[in-house]
Structure 1
Amino acid sequence: MWNNGKVNAFTLLEALVALLVLSGGVLVFQGLTKLLHAELDYQAHQKQEEWVLFQQQLQVELDRSHFEKVADNHIYLVQDQKPIAIGQSKGDDIRKTDDKGRGYQPMISGVRSSQIWQEGELIHLRLNFEEGLEREYVYHVVPAMQNEKS
């Protein structure tokens, strides 16, 4: 009357274990997604803070120096009777160096490309970052005669 043969079947216990594993996997995936989102927000905020700090540092450098020229994608200045240059190095950062490119003071990193040019009394600095961001800084050069009178 009863068939004593074994029948392959998915038992209730196996179904519960499978649901538990699937539920755990979904929760882990959800947690990792939230963590990734938080990390991306942090990185974007960090890059914004780095840009603001760079702007402030560049402003101070330009304010306390005598502007010479813009050439070869660099800003050439005289600071404390020493010629300096600010521009993109061979790497991915904007550096403050001496006029021959020696010395090393990074100002901002993660720069894919930069363009530095002068239009009249305005210096333009446009940076393209590796993350795809593009920022531009414009500085008004005070003519030498006005600078000496101040």
Structure 2
Amino acid sequence: MALVILSGSLLVFEGLSKLISHEVRYQSKVLQKDWLLFSDQLRAEWAQAALVRVENNRIYINKEGQGLAFGKSRSDDFRKTNEKGQGYQPMLYGLQATEIVQEGRLVRMDFTFTNGEERTFIYAFEKTG
């Protein structure tokens, strides 16, 4: 009888292990799709835009005379707002932390997601003037 219970427990454990493995692969694929969409949106948004500054972990740009800001909110998302932080458009969810650094025209953003994964986005703004 103990052998049957042990065998059943092992089957349950094996099933749960497979389920967890499948879920991790699925979440990784979802994150990858979200990341690709986000990076494409950001490239399109920043094309033809001028970098104003990076300050307080936010990127400020000027696009067609409009001041815009991009950065992680107090929540778990990375969002686009006007330069005063009003109105918002979430672009990426599930963030634990971001670090944004500017070196000349180059902006580097390091993202840490709540599931522990990390991604980096690097963008070189065009010279202006």
> How does the TM-score come out when normalised to structure 1?
0.76
Aligned residues: CA RMSD: 1.8
Contact 2:52–2:62, Cα closer than 8 Å, also in 1: yes
Partner in structure 2 of residue 68 of structure 1: 52
Partner in structure 2 of residue 27 of structure 1: 11
Q: Report the CA distance between 1:28 and its aligned residue.
A: 2.4
Give the gaps of 5 or more residues in structure 2: none
Cα distance in structure 1, aligned partners of 2:81 and 2:48: 16
The alignment of Structure 1 onto Structure 2 pairs a total of residues equal to 129
Q: Report the CA distance between 1:19 and its aligned residue.
A: 4.5
Q: Considering only CA atoms, is the larger Rg found in Structure 1 or Structure 2? A: 1
Cα distance in structure 2, aligned partners of 1:134 and 1:31: 29
Partner in structure 1 of residue 67 of structure 2: 83
Percent identical: 40
Q: State how 1:42-61 maps to structure 2 within 5 Å.
A: 42-61=26-45
Q: Report the CA distance between 1:68 and its aligned residue.
A: 1.8
Partner in structure 2 of residue 10 of structure 1: none
Q: Report the CA distance between 1:43 and its aligned residue.
A: 0.9
More strand by share: 2
1:64-102 per-position Cα deviation (integer Å, ceiling 9, x unaligned): 423222122111112333211001111121100111111
> How does the TM-score come out when normalised to structure 2?
0.87
Q: Higher relative CO (CA 8 A, sep ≥ 6), structure 1 or 2?
A: 2
Partner in structure 1 of residue 125 of structure 2: 141
Give the gaps of 5 or more residues in structure 1: 1-14, 146-150
Contact 2:50–2:125, Cα closer than 8 Å, also in 1: no
